[in-house]
Structure formats: C-alpha cells, structure tokens
Chains A and B, each alone.
Chain A
Amino acid sequence: MSEPRTLLQIDHVSKNFGRVTAVDGISLDIRENEFFALLGPSGCGKTTLLRMLAGFETPNDGRILLDGRDIARTPPNKRPVNLMFQSYALFPHMSVRANVSYGLEMERLPAAEIRARVDAILATTELVPFADRKPEQLSGGQKQRVALARALVKRPRLLLLDEPLGALDKKLRGAMQLELKRLQHEVGITFVIVTHDQEESLVMADRMAVLKDGRLLQCDTPHAVYEYPADRFVADFIGVMNFVPGKATADGVLAANGARITGKVPTMLSPGAAAVASVRPERIRLFPSVETANRIAGTVEALAYQGLDLQLHVRTALSPKPFLVRVTADAADRRPVSAGDTIELGWDAADVRIFKD
C-alpha cells in the first residue's frame, strides 16, 4: 500500500485569548480520507483548534496548510472546509431542502446542478421524506442528518464535526457512530471530529489526537493510544486503568508497601524516580499460575455483573484505590467468586505500563 497523502498540516499552531492560552504549539498531520478524532477534556483546546480549521479563529502563531497552501488567514467562506456545528445551527426559517441548497447557491452553481446534488445527498442521508419540513418539525437525529447533508453537499476537502453526537440520546448515539463511519467511507471525505468521549473516538477514528491544556499529548491509532499511552494522563483518560504508585527500579516499580511490579521501565525514568505502574482491568487474571510475573493477594469488595463480563473491585496493599478487574462471564462461571473472598490477582510483565508520576 502506498503511503497515505497528507491533506492537512497543522504546524506549530498557537492561539491565546488575552492571557489564556487555548492552543499551545500544536503540530499535527491529517491524512487524506482519514477519520480523525480530536479528543480531550473540556477546556483542552480542541474546539478552538477546530474553529481555527474552520476559519472562525485566527492562530496567533503557526501555519495551517491544506493541500500545501496556508489557509490560517483565509475567511471561513473562502476555504474548502465545512463545519457541522454542535447545535447543528440549521436555519429555522428555511426548509430542509433550502438549508441543504444554501451552500451550493453561495457557489452560484446552475439551478439544475444544485437540484441534482441536493437530491443525491438527501437520498444518501435518508432525508427525502423530510425535504419540505422546517427544522422545528424534525427529531434530534433527523436534524443531525440535515446538518451533515448541508455540509457534505458542498463536497469539502475537509469536514469538521463538533461533538456531532453530543445532543443525541445514548442509544441513538451508538447507531450514529457506525452511520457516520459508513457515510465517511461512502463520500470519501476527510472527517475531523471533536469529542470529549474517549469511547466515541476509539470506535470511530482511524487516528486520534489526545489534547490537554492546549497541548498535544499523543497522536496515533486508537489501538496504539489504548495499549501504549504516552503518559499517565492519557492512560487514565482513555479507558480504565489501575495505577500502582511507587519508585522506579531497573526492572519495574517498587510500591509503597515493598511489593515489586515487574514491567518495562521507560529510559527517561532513572531508578528512584517517582513512577507509577499501570495495568488494564482486562489484562488481570484471577488465580494466576505461579510463573506469572506480577501476583498480589486481595479481598473482593464488590462485584458488578455486566452481561458479557464481570467487574470486580479488589482491595490490595498496592494502591489506596481498589483494583478494578474484568473477567469474562465464562471464566467467572468456571470459578465463581463472591464478595469478601480473598483471591490472588496476576498479570504479565508485558501488560504493565510504567509512567513518570
């Protein structure tokens, strides 16, 4: 496979509002036809970054190259980029069809072409029966599709989506995640989505960037970000993680209670430095064999049955917080445990991630 082409290059972009730095020297490459997620807690700068891509904010520093051309100072109506607003921002005085046609009318295309393209996108987004309705007559999911159709019909080089599923209820959100991915594949447009929901970006994104306090912490595939988080914050923010605080040693972490966690220590951590060892709940086994690198006894505090799997809270001497363990319902059936039991937990050295604390 040939190397995917870079579509958008964010080059040392910074933006501050007065004394507040919203985006602090971020550099990112977004590839052609990629589904890219900007993820972070509120206030991390992801929305400001998105607004700079759309043209509603101008960076104080840095360049934004689209197809190699700097668009950082191009007004929003002059760039081949469209934004789907979180509030959808449908024009309330226009019908669905008029909303979708609006962007093409601005391009002064012939009426016949506008009509054909609007018809096509209404069909793709299954909005044909609602074409003559006003936005107030639509459900949340339908409004979202109109907002999407209105942006897609322009055939932008880049489609930006600001928390596109935020206003939908949980059940609809799950369906729309897959729907968005299908649509992106179908129209062949590069999507950049902003979200605070880590699960959403894991499900939808080809690659994702994790932001905090205006800085880029990590940019990689969801799998890499989940399995190899760049630092403690990312490890904690994405998914669930058990942490054991302590001091770095040559081959692991020495916990406060004297126990040793074996795992690969990053080279930047010199022995004795404050460090934290971590392991995902699904990597922990109950009743480990004696060869297992890391073993610890604990007391089951609580059990939560979740259908597919069983979640255990296990109190150990390793950390102030109980360990969270996920075992499959299968395994739980074979050797049942109940609250109050003393059991042994174990996990491999390869599943341990060690970070600076």
Chain B
Amino acid sequence: MTQPSRSSLLMAPALAWLTALMVVPCALVLALAFFRRGTYGGVEYTFTLENFGLVFDPLYAGIFLNSARIAGTATLIAVIIGYAAAYAIAAAPRRLQPVLLFFAVLPFWSNYLIRTYAWIVLLNREGLITQLLRWFGYTGEPPSMLYTEGAVIAGLVYNYLPFVILACYAPLSRLNPELAEASRDLGASAVTTFRRVVLPLTVPGIAAGAVFVFVLSIGNFVTPALLGGGRFQMIGNLVYDQFLTANDWPFGAALAMALIAIMLLVLMAQALLADRAAGRAAEARGGADG
C-alpha cells in the first residue's frame, strides 16, 4: 500500500491549493447565486432562483450569444493563422524549429495589459496605422478602428495565437512525413492529401488550441474593456459590472456560473474528442525510421 499513499502525499499540496483557492471560492459564488439582492446593494439571504431566470432574459442571453459569436470568430481566425504558422514551423529545418517556436511565444513574456495597450497605440485615430496610411499619401478621414468589435477580435486573436501555434505544432511535428508521401504516391493531389490525411490526424491539436482560445475569449473582460471602449459587449464585462458597479452580487454570481457551465461543456467535448483521437495519434508517428 506504499504506492497509493506516496502518490496522495505528492498530490496533497496541489489539492490543498486548488481546494482553498478554487473550489471554495467557486462554491461561495455558486451559493451567492441563489440569494436575493439587497435593496441598497449587498445580499439578502433568502433562497431564490430568479437570478438564473434573469440570465435567460433576452437582454442578457443576447450578450451571451454575442460573446460566443465574438469568441467564436476570434477562435476561427486564430486557428487558421495558428495552424498555418505551426505547419510552416513543422516544415522548417529541424534546427530552426525551436527558434521559430521561441519567436511564436515571445509575446507571452510581456504583460497582457501592456500587449493590449500596444494595440490601442496601433489602432488609435492618430495611431501608427493611420500615420502609416498618411505616409503613403492617404488624406481622408482616419479610419475608426479602435473601440469596434473588430478591434476586440484582433486583440483576442493576437493574445491567444501562441496557444494555437503550440497546440497545432505538436501533432504536426510528430506526423510521419511518409504518410503524406504515401497519399501522393497513391494518386492524391497535395490538397486532397491535406484534407484526407494531414488534417484528420492533426485535429486533436486544432481542438485543443481552439478550446483554449474560445474559453479564454468568452470570459475575457480586459480586451473588450480596453479595445471595445468599455461598452459591455461580452459576459466578462457584464459580470465585472454586476459585482463592481451595479452591486448585484447574486446576479453576477448566476452569470458567472452560466459562463463556467458553458466552458465546462466545451472542455468536456474536447476531452471526449482527444480521447478518441489518442490512439490514432500514437500510430501516426510511424514505425521504422528511414
């Protein structure tokens, strides 16, 4: 019985950490969602389900849908750009690949806020892009780019792109190159080879990267606040608002729980997909070298 007790000993610090700082606060927030809002803010401790009812109010459900749409768009763009980048890195000479990966994740080494502020400098009416346009001889109205949905999406894509690159690079670099050659040899064009061999075998990486971007994007509130101009376009901002401005903690808690439920569903779907793909991914690495 030494093995199980040793492993539980090793796991204890992490478990304690998660329990104290993750499970307990979440349970508290969950409990909060079942109470009534006090007349002058605060919480009135009587049981109610109306906070959850309010979540489905067209106004708020619309914000959920809007958030999902923005997060979905950001995910789609990040996956397309990230997969292409990962493909290029995996196809580069072996000794160059670590360097290219380093550059791909380089933005992570700076602060999220600073990175997002950099986009304000870029997209500002008198920002770098406008100046560049002027320099090329453009004289019209400066384009309004900042404080738009596009700016929010651009910020999300930029911030989470490295996750997609890393997640897609892993299966792409492990893919036995002879599989693509075999497909060509059997008469498939390059496009067909990609569609029927390379893509299906690297879907787990795409799914992992996509889930990362989607989950982090749908709950994000910094980027919509800074690049979206503070209008709450996304649930993250709505939750933030309920807790810190509207002082409606129970409704904020119900919104937060709904958001967590969405994220969990997405993560579970991805885990299911990854599990199914695990076996075939192992095989894709190929047998003999030569």
Taking Cβ atoms with an 8 Å cutoff, the residues of A that contact B are: 47, 54-56, 75-77, 82-83, 85-93, 102-103, 106-107, 134-136, 143, 150-151, 154, 162-163, 166-167
Cα A302 to Cα B5 in complex, Å, equals: 60
Given contacts A93-B200, A136-B279, A136-B280, contact A87 B184 (CB under 8 A): no
Is B287 within 8 A of A102, CB to CB?
A: no
Q: Is B126 an interface residue (CB 8 A)?
A: no
Taking Cβ atoms with an 8 Å cutoff, the residues of B that contact A are: 176, 178-179, 181-189, 192, 196-197, 200-201, 279-284, 286-290
Is A167 within 8 A of B288, CB to CB?
A: yes
Is B185 within 8 A of A91, CB to CB?
A: no
Residues of A within 8 A of B178 (CB): 85, 87, 89
Residues of B within 8 A of A77 (CB): 184-189
> Distance (Å) between the CB of B25 and the closest chain A CB?
42
Cα A143 to Cα B240 in complex, Å, equals: 58
Residues of A within 8 A of B200 (CB): 93
Q: What is the interface of chain B mostly: helix, strand, loop, or mixed?
A: helix
Other A-B contacts than A76-B185, A93-B284, A102-B188, 15 sampled, CB-CB below 8 A, are A56-B184, A76-B181, A83-B182, A85-B182, A86-B290, A89-B178, A89-B181, A90-B182, A93-B200, A102-B186, A106-B186, A106-B188, A136-B279, A136-B282, A136-B283
Residues of A within 8 A of B287 (CB): 87-88, 143, 167
Among residues of A, the one whose C-beta sits closest to the C-beta of B197 is A91
Cα A87 to Cα B179 in complex, Å, equals: 9
Among residues of B, the one whose C-beta sits closest to the C-beta of A98 is B196
Cα A348 to Cα B88 in complex, Å, equals: 65
Among residues of B, the one whose C-beta sits closest to the C-beta of A83 is B185
Is B201 within 8 A of A92, CB to CB?
A: yes
Is B181 within 8 A of A56, CB to CB?
A: yes
Cα A54 to Cα B187 in complex, Å, equals: 11
Cα A90 to Cα B284 in complex, Å, equals: 9
Is A82 within 8 A of B186, CB to CB?
A: yes
Is A135 within 8 A of B283, CB to CB?
A: yes
Residues of B within 8 A of A87 (CB): 176, 178, 286-290
In the complex, 23 of the A-B residue pairs with CB atoms within 8 angstroms, ordered by the A residue number, are A76-B185, A77-B188, A77-B189, A82-B185, A83-B182, A86-B288, A87-B176, A87-B178, A89-B181, A89-B182, A89-B286, A92-B281, A93-B201, A93-B280, A103-B186, A106-B192, A136-B283, A150-B182, A150-B186, A151-B185, A151-B186, A166-B288, A167-B288
